[in-house]
A and B are shown apart, each in its own frame.
Chain A
Amino acid sequence: DAGITQSPRHKVTETGTPVTLRCHQTENHRYMYWYRQDPGHGLRLIHYSYGVKDTDKGEVSDGYSVSRSKTEDFLLTLESATSSQTSVYFCAISESSVYYEQYFGPGTRLTVT
């Protein structure tokens, strides 16, 4: 398995609270991604990063922000969690030359009550 860890693996939080999910990689890959996975929707890209401090929005970025201050860490923040953000969140990484070949972390199950 690619060296990707996500923390926490499970989290329950209340509506309106801020939440930060962390993705850590040991592969030194340039690209990092955050997806959410919901029944009936498959995987949807939230944000991605193509280098330290270089990020871009994905398909479902509203309500989420990201930061990447080091190559190995990519943080996803929900500024004020809502019930619609209850989901499983996956981090992924890829090399620049084969960006479409992504390696996924184990996922974080987030429940917003």
Chain B
Amino acid sequence: GESVGLHLPTLSVQEGDNSIINCAYSNSASDYFIWYKQESGKGPQFIIDIRSNMDKRQGQRVTVLLNKTVKHLSLQIAATQPGDSAVYFCAENYGGSQGNLIFGKGTKLSVKP
């Protein structure tokens, strides 16, 4: 089965609030964990990555947290905007292999004005 999963299939937040999207993984050998955003009708777009030797990484309005103890990954979006409405996928390079990414099923984020 899939090693990357999601806790919630849908998430609805109010504009301006912070969003947290969660993901679980099972392969301890993966080196990188990545978040992608997919808007309706488009291909996925890279957001941010985190290496397995880190526990936190920040980008522009986004923070990714990695908890290796419980094999959990999360994406935090600060001050969520309508343009953040999309499906978010977590992914891992399964077993540390280059090029072979395993994606989760995705969480749909809806931002209410």
Pair A106/B42 contact, Cβ less than 8 Å: yes
Q: Which of B18-39 contact A (CB under 8 A)?
A: 32, 34
Pair B99/A50 contact, Cβ less than 8 Å: yes
Question: Per-residue CB proximity of B65-107 to A under 8 Å, as 1/0?
Answer: 0000000000000000000000001010100001111111110
- Residues of B with C-beta under 8 A to A92: 43-44
Instruction: Point out residues on B near A: beta carbons under 8 Å.
Output: 32, 34, 42-46, 49, 89, 91, 93, 98-106
B interface secondary structure, majority: strand
A56 to B94, CA, bound (A): 14
Pair B43/A104 contact, Cβ less than 8 Å: yes
Pair A42/B43 contact, Cβ less than 8 Å: no
User: If the complex has contacts A100-B93, A103-B46, A105-B43, are A45 and B101 also in contact, measured as CB distance less than 8 A?
Assistant: yes
A105 to B93, CA, bound (A): 20
- Residues of B with C-beta under 8 A to A62: none
Interface presence of A43 (CB below 8 A)? yes
- Residues of B with C-beta under 8 A to A59: 100, 102
- Residues of A with C-beta under 8 A to B104: 42
User: If the complex has contacts A42-B89, A90-B43, are A101 and B103 also in contact, measured as CB distance less than 8 A?
Assistant: no
Pair A99/B46 contact, Cβ less than 8 Å: no
Contact among B45, B91, B99 for A31, CB-based, below 8 A = B99
